[in-house]
Amino acid sequence: MTYIEHIGKYFIMLGRVFKRPQRSRIFYQALMKEIEDLGLKSIGIIMFISFFIGGVIALQTALNLDSPFIPDSLIGFAAKRSIILEFAPTFCCIILAGKVGSYITSSIGTMRVTEQIDALDVMGINSISHLVLPKVIATLFFYPFLILLAMFLGIFGGWVAGVLSGLFAGTDYIIGLQTDFKPFLIIYAMIKTIVFAFLIATVPSYHGYYVKGGSIAVGRASTQSVVWTTILIVIMNYILTQLLLT
C-alpha cells in the first residue's frame, strides 16, 4: 500500500470520527475512561522525567557557562527557554506517543482481530467515532495541563539541582526565570501541544483500526504507530516553529 493511500484512508477516517457520535451518556462514560487511561495514568512518568531532565538542563548549562563574564542568571534564562520551547511540549509528547500510542493501537487492534469492531458496525454503531472521538477529546483537553505541569516541574527541578549542587544560587536562577519573559512562548507551546495531542490520538487509532491479521500484526502495528507518530511530531514541530516564531 502506498503512502498516498495511507494518507487518504487516514483523512477519510477523520471524517468519519466526527459523524454520528454516540448518545451523550455513553460518550461521557467513554470520555472519562479515556481521560483516566490516556491522561491520569501518564502523570507519574511525566512528573518524574520532567523534574530530573530540568535538573540536567540546568546543570549542563551551568557547567558550559563557567565564565566570570557570564552572569549566573543566564542559567535560569536558558533553562526556562529550553523547557518551555522544546522539552515540555515536544520531548514529553514524544514520550507520550510511545506510552499512549502503543496502548491505543494495541487496544483497538485487538478489537479488530477479535471482530468486536465488526460487531459494532453490524449493530449500526459508528465504530470509528465510538472508539476514536473520546480519545481525541481526552488528549486535546488533558495534555495541555500535563505539559504545563511538565514546564513547572522542569523549571523547579533545575532550581533544586542548582541549590543542591552549589553551582549557582537559587536567587540568580529565579532572576534568570524572570528575565525577558514572553507570554507568547507559553501560547506557542500550547499550540504545539494541541497539534501533537491530536496526532497521538489519531495516528495510533488509524493503525489499530485498519490492522489485518492476528496478534503478531497488532504488535507490528503498535510499533509502526509509535514510529509514525514520532516522525509526524518532529515534522509538525519544525513547521509550527517556522510559522509561529520566525
90-107 pLDDT, tens digit per residue, is 999 999 999 999 899 999
- Residue 201: what pLDDT? 93
pLDDT category at 1 given cuts 50, 70, 90 is low
- Rounded Cα distance, 52 and 98, in Å: 19
170-179 pLDDT, tens digit per residue, is 788 888 888 8
**Which range (29-33, 49-53, 165-169) has the least confidence?**
165-169
185-212 pLDDT, tens digit per residue, is 899 999 999 999 999 999 999 998 888 8
Write the single-letter amino acid at 214.
G
* More confident site: 58 or 124: 58
- Rounded Cα distance, 60 and 44, in Å: 24
All cell numbers assigned to 212: 489485518
All cell numbers assigned to 29: 462514560
Helix, strand or coil, per DSSP, at residue 146: helix
The residue written with cell numbers 565564565 in the block is 67
The dihedrals phi and psi of 65, each to the nearest 5 degrees, come to: -115, 35
127-157 pLDDT, tens digit per residue, is 888 888 899 999 999 999 999 999 999 999 9
* More confident site: 202 or 28: 202
In sign, the C-alpha dihedral spanning 110, 113, 114, 116 is: positive
- Rounded Cα distance, 97 and 100, in Å: 5
Enumerate the domain spans of the chain. Answer: 23-245
Q: Secondary structure of 41-110 in the HEC alphabet?
A: HHHHHHHHHHHHHHHHHHHHHHHHCCCCCCCCHHHHHHHHHHHHHHHHHHHHHHHHHHHHHHHHHHHHHH
- Residue 65: what pLDDT? 76
Report the predicted TM-score, pTM, of the whole model to 2 decimal places: 0.90
- Residue 139: what pLDDT? 93
